[in-house]
Amino acid sequence: MELLRAGIDQNLFELSPRAKVASTADDPGRFVEDFCCWQENEFYRRFIFESKLGEVAARLMQSKTVRLYHDHMLTKEGGTRQRTPWHQDQPYSNIDGRMNCSFWIPVDPVSRDSTLEFVAGSHLGPWYMPRSFMDEQAKWFPEGSLHDIPNIDVRRDQFEILGWEMEPGDAVAFHMLTLHSAAGADQRRRVFSVRVIGDDIRHAPRPWKTSPDFPGLDLPAGAEMDSELFPMLWESS
């Protein structure tokens, strides 16, 4: 946790060109995200490559190999009102396949009211329309090509919603098709997320800018993700 705290604090001090502020100017708090910083951030790199994260992911995905897909820092300062709306991660990305895993790792205590929530079973599909968080634009798949996410918050009793109060050292692992959301933050909430991919993941180039994008990636459609951008974390002997 000390490695990740140091990494996040360095990241917040030196945001990359990929960083974005995901809260409005009138929000009393601030929601900041940054992506794909492991190559520049020694603390992130040590955590990803020196921990058992890859081995744990292999067991969860039942995969013989585990590659790093990308890292994602999410910090909500205390008093942030901005919600993270319900969404799936995979439709924003450039990958197809089932063997993937996201780790959500807080370095601050997270109350039940501010934690990440999930709709149980939603990882089985379908894919829902990915929309921009601030203005709900369909910048990825063409409008109407995928179903819109149901209004979960007004019908919470119709879904099995999971979420946990968390302490530093806790982590949640989930599939990139799982519908998930989070409220604002009653106190500072620094989180490091790591997304990894397994044996069956293939490159799915999109005619639009994915989130995150990978400039310079030169892989044909359907290829394995064999690139220095996606280094191997774990491989069965």
Q: For residue 216, is it within any domain?
A: no
Residue 71: which of 92, 49, 48 has the closest Cα? 48
Q: For residue 228, is it within any domain?
A: no
Share of the chain above pLDDT 90, in %: 90
Q: For residue 73, is it within any domain?
A: yes
pLDDT score recorded for residue 24: 92
CATH assignment at residue 113: 2.60.120.620
CA 22 to chain centre: 14
Q: What is the per-residue pLDDT across 55-114, written as a single tens digit (0 to 9) for each?
A: 999 999 999 999 999 999 999 999 999 999 999 999 999 999 999 999 999 999 999 999
Q: Which domain holds residue 139?
A: 2-22+29-200
Q: For residue 158, is it within any domain?
A: yes
Residue 70: count of CB within 10 angstroms of its CB: 19
- Average pLDDT of the chain? 95
Q: For residue 157, is it within any domain?
A: yes
Render 64-89 in DSSP notation, one character per residue: SEEEEEEEEEEEE-TTB---EEEE-S
Q: For residue 231, is it within any domain?
A: no
pLDDT of 2 over the 80 cut: yes
Share of the chain above pLDDT 70, in %: 100
Q: For residue 232, is it within any domain?
A: no
Mean pLDDT of 39-57: 97
Task: Name the domain count of the chain.
Answer: 1
pLDDT score recorded for residue 134: 74
Q: For residue 170, is it within any domain?
A: yes
pLDDT score recorded for residue 137: 79
Regarding pTM above 0.85, the answer is yes
